[in-house]
Structure 1
């Protein structure tokens, strides 16, 4: 059995570094920090799980076991409009921590995943008459 090549040139150590830098930003963000703090009580295990998600998505590792869509749906305080802020912060971290080619490739993947998550949350977060609540 041959293993799949990474989606782009990056190491697991770089993934871990980006995830740690990103969550340092999240914890201090006035809008997103409280949303995460309501659910994440121990940051190192959370960061390890998210790094595993990205290692699976990029490096094809099998180090992640979870369902991000379900987690975001069940959180109760995640709103579709938050994804744009999340992605903007993530893009800033990527630009600071990685080479430009790595940052572009990971950003494109993150935006595709973010669109899917946002769509999944929009389907569940509706107001009267089925109108999506976007903020």
Structure 2
């Protein structure tokens, strides 16, 4: 994400768009180098982890929530949960886990819903995964 090449150039361009603001990051000889520049820029924004995870090309362990401090993380703007694939379901007062269009269930705890999403996500072969 955020990496492209134009017809008139042999270089890879890196660009970050976050909160409707675009920033050109530079031109690179290598596609992976450009993608890593995008990732570094994403991590430096201070955006919520859930937003960063949707945008990163190469995730590291540090990009994920810590088991003992996930509740300290901010809920992204316009969202009802910190986690991908999880929303607060007002009629039931529970957290709804979804993977794509598939409903995984309702959970009393936000992190339990996130674990259900993670389990469903891991069950899909890498080449068929999509960003939720």
Taking structure 1 as the reference length, the TM-score comes to 0.22
Taking structure 2 as the reference length, the TM-score comes to 0.22
Q: Of Structure 1 and Structure 2, which has the larger fraction of its residues in strand?
A: 2
Flag the structure with larger Rg.
2
**Higher RCO (C-alpha under 8 Å, 6+ residues apart):** 1
